[in-house]
Structure 1
């Protein structure tokens, strides 16, 4: 079921609520996507595997997909996007959910873990890093995005026609995918054509690259997290290369780490099944734990 959720006056988010297909579903599962990306970037095949065990919820962040584009007239910060995730759960009458965050979505889930742990049954984070420290001199030394990726990001908002925009996005996905798994341009062209049709325009989304990130410097607080949290390492990720994942897992009070060999910063068809299995190992582990 598709619907729109009003998260604050003048801001409406597109939400898809997928009913579980299995006989004994667990608590709902919320998918929180990365920066500048529609919820449709979560592959249908992954959603279908997760829906065998859970009601699955995915949504478009502000300024993406069919959600309200507000940034130019009313700038917002990363904390607002974290609040949006909770507002989606509220609108669907979900008091608590398993929450999965990719990339920027991983940062949003970390903020929710710190401020609203009662809303999260379990957390799964991947293709992301730990929240930064207030004092950089005490923070763990971690590598940032690869230089080639930074150069491509500098071109993100260059004007392009439809075919030029698709070509840029394909190059972006090729770079994000890395060389550890097969990159199929046709797979990602179909994805981007679907996202553009869903959105109704092809212009690049850049709002999340410009938003206020104040309030993220809470890395030391992660040690106090008591919600069971899985961190999935994508060893070929050029945006959050190792050891970002392992440091994040060690930073979280209830963190554990699994690794998907060859995975980069893209959910291509070769990693869908191992990714689904890893997520479900976390959610079903929680369900099986003694009360």
Structure 2
């Protein structure tokens, strides 16, 4: 079922729900510039027998309002949009799953709205904390010295965004996914081509916004609140992750009180078919334990 939610004056967000209406809600929060349909259908379908699964389009993605050029907003507003989605659908509390920027937004929800969160699963992201990382040998690493984004990703992101038509845009996105997926699993070009063709069809055009990269990211740190967390949190570790590589997942779990880490073999910063089953299994094991 599809529905539009009024998140703020002049801001409408596209949402979709799958699964039984009386099942425990599970809100999927995608990364920067990514639509809700960036959550692959097979993964959503594997979660839907157990949950009322909700995915949605951020502002400036998909079928939601694209307001940034006239009315710039803060990253923090995207976190509040997630709460607006729950409010608009009449949901008091939900399990949340956040990938990449979505994982950061999920941390903000843990810190600012813990009463709305049944559990959280975070991956492909970094801690919104200034706490140092403690290695297994007991030595510490300041946050600023943790491994950064892989050079090949930075090079790709530095290229100018030029419109050469929809087919060229699909090819550009395929190259992007090839780099983000890492080098531990065979790259499924057919899957990602179909995914991006679906995103373009869903959106109605092939244009790409850079709003989230330009949005005000001040005030995102939640060091003390995460250290005092009481919500069950699962951190998924991708050994091929090129954006927030190891030990970022371990650091995140250290920063969020009570969090634990599960590795998804071969996973990078993408959701190819090979990770759908282990990813769904990990999420469902976590949410089932909370219920």
Please state which band the TM-score falls in when normalised by the shorter chain: over 0.9
CA distance in 2 between partners of 1:101 and 1:5 (Å): 20
TM alignment of 1:119-268, pairs within 5 A: 119-133=116-130, 139=143, 141-155=145-159, 157-268=161-272
Seen in structure 2, the aligned counterparts of structure 1 residues 156 and 105 have a Cα distance that, compared at 3 Å, is: farther
Structure 2 residue runs without a partner (length 5+): 133-140
CA RMSD of aligned residues (A): 1.7
CA distance in 2 between partners of 1:70 and 1:104 (Å): 19
| Pairing 1:46–2:50 present | no
Q: In structure 1, the residue corresponding to 2:274 is in which secondary structure?
A: coil
| Pairing 1:19–2:29 present | no
2:9 paired residue number: 9
TM-score using structure 2 length = 0.94
CA distance in 1 between partners of 2:63 and 2:69 (Å): 16
User: Offset at 1:162?
Assistant: 1.4
TM alignment of 1:67-106, pairs within 5 A: 67-106=64-103
CA distance in 1 between partners of 2:15 and 2:164 (Å): 29
Q: In structure 2, the residue corresponding to 1:275 is in which secondary structure?
A: helix
Seen in structure 2, the aligned counterparts of structure 1 residues 138 and 260 have a Cα distance that, compared at 3 Å, is: closer
CA distance in 1 between partners of 2:177 and 2:246 (Å): 19
| Pairing 1:64–2:48 present | no
- 8 Å CA contact 2:126–2:249 kept in 1: the answer is yes
User: Offset at 1:138?
Assistant: 5.5
Task: List structure 1 runs of 4+ shifted beyond 6 angstroms.
Answer: none
1:108 paired residue number: 105
TM-score using structure 1 length = 0.94
- 8 Å CA contact 1:4–1:14 kept in 2: the answer is yes
User: Offset at 1:157?
Assistant: 2.2
- 8 Å CA contact 1:156–1:204 kept in 2: the answer is no
Q: In structure 2, the residue corresponding to 1:273 is in which secondary structure?
A: helix
User: Offset at 1:134?
Assistant: 9.6
CA distance in 1 between partners of 2:5 and 2:229 (Å): 29
User: Offset at 1:142?
Assistant: 1.5
User: Offset at 1:39?
Assistant: 0.3
- Cα deviation, 1:93-124, whole Å, max 9, x if unaligned, reads 00000000000000000001001000000000
State the number of aligned residues. 283
User: Offset at 1:154?
Assistant: 1.4
Structure 1 residue runs without a partner (length 5+): none
- 8 Å CA contact 1:156–1:206 kept in 2: the answer is no
| Pairing 1:285–2:289 present | yes
Q: In structure 2, the residue corresponding to 1:113 is in which secondary structure?
A: helix
Q: In structure 2, the residue corresponding to 1:270 is in which secondary structure?
A: helix
User: Offset at 1:219?
Assistant: 2.9
Q: In structure 2, the residue corresponding to 1:124 is in which secondary structure?
A: strand
CA distance in 1 between partners of 2:69 and 2:287 (Å): 38
